[in-house]
Amino acid sequence: MADANVDALVQKVNQLVVLDSVEGVSSLRRGQTLELSAGHVEMLRPLADNLDLPGRLATALHSISGTQGRWHDRRDDARAGLTELVALCANRLEPDSSLPEPADAGARDRLATAVCRAYAASATPRLVAGLFPDGRPDDLGRFPPPQLEGDVAAARAMAVAIGARTASGEDQVLKRLVAAGHGAAAHEAAAMLLEARMDFARLPHGQRAGIHRQLTRSIEAGFAVRDVQRAAARELTEELENRREDVTGGAGAIDTASGIARDEVGKLHEFLQKIDYWEESMEPQPTPSLDEVRAIVARGLVSRVEHHARIQTDLPDSQVASPPAATAAAAETMVATSTIPFESRPAATAATATMLTEGFDELPTLVDDWRAGGSDVRREAEVYGGTLGDRTLAAVRGFELHPPNAQAAEPNRVFGTDPAIPPLGRVQAPTGQTRQADGAAASSRNKGSDGLIR
């Protein structure tokens, strides 16, 4: 793709998708772009050339011959091309390195593509405003209701079925499935189903990963067993019935997985009861001190930032567990691998470091809450360190879209006005997540796992 404006549009849309995913997962690296078809580039070029004033794309009279003309709305192509671009960017989001290998790679990729397209159908209209200066959701006109079919309809039905079991909205579920990264949708769907089960939460950590993998494979296989035939190739009299099968097939994969979770967790509880596991094997673990918690969080922060940036921070072992050293290194490393203008980088680094420092300042209150709630403090600290690492990337992606004023006396104030970056005090990592201190850490996105690298 040799079109600078379209290339810039791709990078901007990618940034919006990363920010919308909340988790701050990685996607296109600096200098990378997507390989788009010639037709897709043609659909996007008018939009890419008019990001400063989208009103130019409104309906206009185009001449067909010397005496005739017709009205043409270039926003139609812009909406369709942008939706496809959002799906492509979502499909490039990077999964955690600890994601288990698939039983069927084709089934995993098929589900990943469908989830990303379902996400794009719901997310693109709300992302439009971020494309333009002082943008509004209606800058590209009204998006027609998506006509989903085949795998995409099944993926949406999966999101609805998960939402019904977890008290979540469809958009929220799709966003979380996409944020888990390419190929991790079933793993994340299984985590959401298991999180909602108190009997699963009571299982020992070492007994959870097997059930999680079993549900993941069940969802991938259940989705892939459906007929891939598209509605356009069907007989007219069969179209309605096949659309119904798309929906029931996607929801059915979740129904089956939910049943497996109920049966397998119940059997495991019965087995552990028979061998008196609860009485003989459960030994209390010492609660870490506040200084130990700070060190755990610092290690998790550095590990997660190194994962996102794909470079090492070069912190010596003696400083990896130091919150001030980890905070400075994380901010500098993430900004150094960004597209933030060089003159704005010192301000962005200072603002990001301030955000992380405030995160460490929250620890005394968080530790008290974890202890009061009976949570595993060490485990929660590992999760929180990863969460800070994800927020570091999200903050830097925000600065790429809106570079801070290089002369600003207090650049950290941008966090008070940027809606893409929620106040850190509201960041609560769900119980049951885990992290490790090395680069192959289990992601905080892979909720419900035991943290063991498989």
What are the tens digits of pLDDT across the range 252-277?
778 777 777 777 766 665 655 655 54
What does the pLDDT read at residue 431? Answer: 39
Instruction: Give the tens place of pLDDT for each residue, 106-115.
Output: 889 999 999 9
Per-residue pLDDT band at 429 (split at 50, 70, 90) = very low
pLDDT recorded at residue 442:
34
**How high is the pLDDT of residue 257?**
76
pLDDT for position 243? 57
Rounded distance, CA 429 to CA 381, Å? 10
Cα-Cα-Cα-Cα torsion 423, 425, 428, 434, nearest 10 degrees, comes to: 100
pLDDT digits (tens, 9 = 90+) for 176-234: 899 888 899 999 998 888 887 777 776 776 677 888 888 888 888 888 887 655 545 55
Separation of alpha carbons 331 and 356, rounded Å: 8
Q: What is the DSSP letter of 15?
A: H
The CA distance from 93 to 183, in Å, is 9
What pLDDT band is residue 295 in, cutting at 50, 70 and 90? very high
Which letter does DSSP use for residue 108 in this model?
Answer: H
Closest CA to 173 of 183, 184, 161: 161
User: Would you say how long the chain is, in residues?
Assistant: 454
> What is the mean predicted confidence (pLDDT) over 235-239?
52
Kindly list the distances between the CA atom of residue 417 and the CA atoms of 198, 398, 401, 410, 421, in Å, as whole numbers in the listed order: 38, 12, 14, 13, 9
Under 8 Å between Cβ of 119 and 178 = yes
pLDDT class for 383, splitting at 50, 70, 90? confident
Nearest residue to 20 via CA among 337, 394, 402: 394
Complete DSSP assignment for 191-222: HHHHHT-HHHHTS-GGGHHHHHHHHHHHHHHH
Q: Are 157 and 253 in contact (CB under 8 A)?
A: no
The pLDDT value recorded for residue 229 is 56
Residue, of 418 and 144, whose pLDDT is higher:
144
Contact yes or no for 165/196 (Cβ under 8 A): yes
321 CB-near residues (< 8 Å, 6+ apart): 294, 295, 296, 298, 299
Hey, which of 28-32, 99-103, 170-174, 376-380 has the most confident mean pLDDT? Answer: 170-174
- Summarize the confidence of residues 351-356 as an average pLDDT: 92
Per-residue pLDDT, 244: 61
Q: Which residue has better confidence, 286 or 368?
A: 368
Q: Which amino acid is at 405?
A: N
> By mean pLDDT, which of 68-77, 101-110, 317-326, 334-343 is the weakest?
68-77
**Percent of the chain residues topping a pLDDT of 70:** 72
- Residue 323 near residue 293, CB atoms below 8 Å: no
pLDDT of residue 357: 93
Residue 173 corresponds to which tokens in the numbers above?
């579920």
| pLDDT tier, 432 (very low <50, low <70, confident <90, very high otherwise) | very low
Question: What is the three-class DSSP state of 383?
Answer: helix
Q: Minimum mean pLDDT among 16-25, 279-288, 357-366: which range?
A: 279-288
Residue 325 pLDDT: 92
Distance CA 162, CA 188 (A): 11
Per the DSSP assignment, residues forming a β-bridge with 248 are none
Judged against a pLDDT cut of 50, whether residue 418 lies above it is answered with no
The rounded mean pLDDT for the chain is 76
